[in-house]
Chain A
Amino acid sequence: MGKVAIIGVGQSAFSRAYPGSIRELAFEAFREAMVDAGAETGDIGATVVCSAPEYDKQRSPAGVLAEYLGLTPQPTFYAETLCSSSSTGLKLAYSLVASGLHDSVMVIGFQKMSEISSAESQERMGRGADIQWESPFGTMMPAYYAMYAQGYMDSYGITSEDLALIRVKAATYGQINEKAVYRKGVELQQCLDADPVANPLKVFDCCANADGASCVIVASEAKAKAMGIAKPVWILGLGAASAPVNLAGRDLFNGLRVAQMAAAEAYQMAGISAQDVDVAEVHDCFTIAEMMAYENLGFAEPGGGKELIRSKETYKEGSIPVNVDGGLLSKGHPIGATGGSQIRTIVLQLRGEAGEMQVKDPQIGLVHNIGGVGLYGNVSILGR
């Protein structure tokens, strides 16, 4: 199989309420990626459109977006794994290009969550779990992740303060990311004094709903060369896994099995280990999720995540910078767009184009994107 490159990335600003429709929202990310790649619509062989259903009312959005973006009559289809939809899209795009079916594929992720109320949104997200046996008890995402936080605290003796340190870090970088929803700094005490949402998680432990879109253009080595792409970023490793949807089927409550398995697979494909990663984007929908990611990706031993954040090793100047774009906690989390936004951040980092967020000379970057409560896990490894 030939090498596969990412040749263009784009992202809309993430916002609490986008003043337009989903096709217009997608266009913002599309335009940026097209300009970035210097591409014309004829360069794109197919599109994979990614979102989670039941926010806006459009059924089968792939055809609608493809038409608006001028990407008909090329084939287009929809991919969905909840919050990890657009990194699943990357895996599909890679497969389509590596197989030789297409020489370039675009992945568009979007979500317009502001079309429904926050309580409705909690109910929708809750139904991204087991609707037959769990949802009737009144479940929602913060409560599910809170159960992992409780399990983790019970295993490793961390406190709310350790989790709050992760939010403080996110806010440090949210302030310098002009595409983030939450641009303010956050003090440790502010986190600790905040109201509980689902114990032990409090308001600042949770990311916010957002509207947003992302776009990633993938191409074969030959296509990238023909288009004169100056700084292709190569897809080195892809790993993915799934877990039982009902928590009763899980065997681990202080980490996510899907992340462990996806990471092992991605490292093996790339022929690297955790120590080789220079910069990472992890799925911090909740502070506990980033803490578990440190360990599930092998940046720390089980229970050792707290040392990484306490010693600021995951800050920009640390040994393994994580979410130096503000993460989901500051950027906001427009479900289907999130994976593509994470990929964009790593691509910009590897090209040395991340501006104020730039870490020093990274060679290898990693994206950890989780769907549902550890229901789906994708780990993608990119390199220069």
Chain B
Amino acid sequence: MGKPKKEKDVRFSKFGTVSFTATTKVNDFIDYLEKGEVRGTKCKSCGKVFFPPRADCYSCLSSDMEWFKVEGAGKLITFSILRYAPIGFGDDLPYAIAVVDYGDYKVFGRIGDIDLDQVQCGMEVVVRANELPNGQLNYVFDKA
């Protein structure tokens, strides 16, 4: 009859093809991804907006955050198509990574349903929550 073991919240280990972080105070990000939503955080105290989401605001030192939805079209600023991959990602090849500007914040992620030879700087894209073949979750950019 020992004390019941407290379960560790390791939801973040579901993020990406290979996750390198299991536990974070923004683990709810994974629940939103499961619901098909990509969300960042906004400081309730000073209104500062963060993507990727953060638990703490360095600007006003508050940790009182609310989640906002990344919605609408963003502009693709830059990208690269990978022909080699780091260990653990070989099965995903070829794939592209990109930075997309949403005005108040930018988002780093993968290209989704766009032919890789069609990807261009300046194109409008939308973000989509995505389930990977290995059951992991990430988010990708599709044509707007």
Contact = CB atoms under 8 A, between A and B. Distances in A.
A248 B74 CA distance: 13
Contact of B86 (A123, A147, A154): A123
B84 A248 contact: no
Nearest to A253: B78
Contact of A150 (B15, B52, B80, B108): B80
Contacts of B77: 151, 253
Interface in B82-137: 82-90, 92, 95, 97-99, 105-110, 121-122, 136
B121 A138 contact: no
A196 B15 CA distance: 28
Given A138-B89, A138-B97, A248 B83 contact: no
A198 B99 CA distance: 15
Interface stretch (A125-133, A163-171, A257-265, A317-325): A125-133
B78 A137 contact: no
* Candidate in A127, A136, A139, A151 with the most chain B CB atoms within 10 angstroms: A136
A151 B80 CA distance: 10
B2 to A, nearest CB: 33
Contacts of B78: 147-148, 150-151, 154, 253
Contact of B20 (A131, A196, A197): A131
Interface residues of B, number: 40
Contacts of A19: none
B52 A147 contact: no
Contact of A198 (B19, B51, B80): B80
Contacts of A149: 80
Interface string A209-223: 000000000000000
A191 to B, nearest CB: 16
A133 B81 contact: no
B21 A131 contact: yes
Interface string A133-153: 111111110111011111100
Contacts of A73: none
A251 to B, nearest CB: 9
Nearest to A146: B80
A17 B93 CA distance: 29
Nearest to A199: B81
A126 B89 CA distance: 12
10 contacts: A132-B21, A136-B20, A136-B138, A137-B138, A138-B18, A140-B86, A146-B80, A154-B121, A197-B83, A200-B80
Given A122-B86, A195-B83, A253-B99, A136 B24 contact: no
A147 B97 contact: yes
Contacts of A69: none
A2 interface: no
A120 interface: yes
Contact of B107 (A122, A140, A142, A248): A248
A348 B61 CA distance: 49
A249 B52 CA distance: 9
Contacts of A135: 16, 18, 20
A132 B52 contact: yes
A311 B92 CA distance: 41
A199 B81 CA distance: 5
Nearest to A143: B80
A139 B99 contact: no
Nearest to A132: B21
Contact of A246 (B52, B80, B84): B52
